[in-house]
Homo-oligomer: A and B are copies of this chain.
């Protein structure tokens, strides 16, 4: 597995365990670290709220996500009645969570800058209470 895929899987695992320690039931989706266009990375929920999470890390100041991937992610969330959340991990930053409709659209690509994520995104503790 390429190094960045391994890193992605480790980040997903870390987030998943963080959710479990917060009292959520959470599972990682198999192959989501390695496969392009997997449906989502993590499914998490408790009796009140249910989420599907796409985890993305970036070494740059802006993260790009293909519109095709987001569409698959959103339709998956709809089918299972899950709230779709994108978990962004910029270098040397904490997780920040944004909704798909907060991404900036340009052609076939969506994006979120670190700057905007800090403004509109939510921290782990704000979402997973």
Query: In chain A, residues 53-93, which have Cβ atoms closer than 8 Å to a Cβ of chain B?
Result: 75-76, 79-82
In the bound complex, residues from chain B placing their C-beta under 8 Å from that of A47 are: 79
Given contacts A25-B39, A28-B30, A45-B80, 16 further A-B contacts (CB under 8 A): A25-B75, A25-B76, A25-B80, A27-B32, A27-B40, A29-B29, A29-B30, A30-B31, A30-B32, A43-B43, A45-B79, A46-B79, A47-B79, A50-B80, A50-B81, A81-B81
- Chain A interface (Cβ within 8 Å of chain B)? 25, 27-32, 38-40, 43, 45-47, 50, 75-76, 79-82
Nearest-Cβ distance from residue A33 to partner chain B, whole angstroms? 8
Can you name 8 A-B residue pairings with CB atoms under 8 Å?
A: A27-B32, A28-B29, A29-B30, A43-B43, A45-B79, A45-B80, A50-B79, A50-B80
Nearest-Cβ distance from residue A91 to partner chain B, whole angstroms? 25
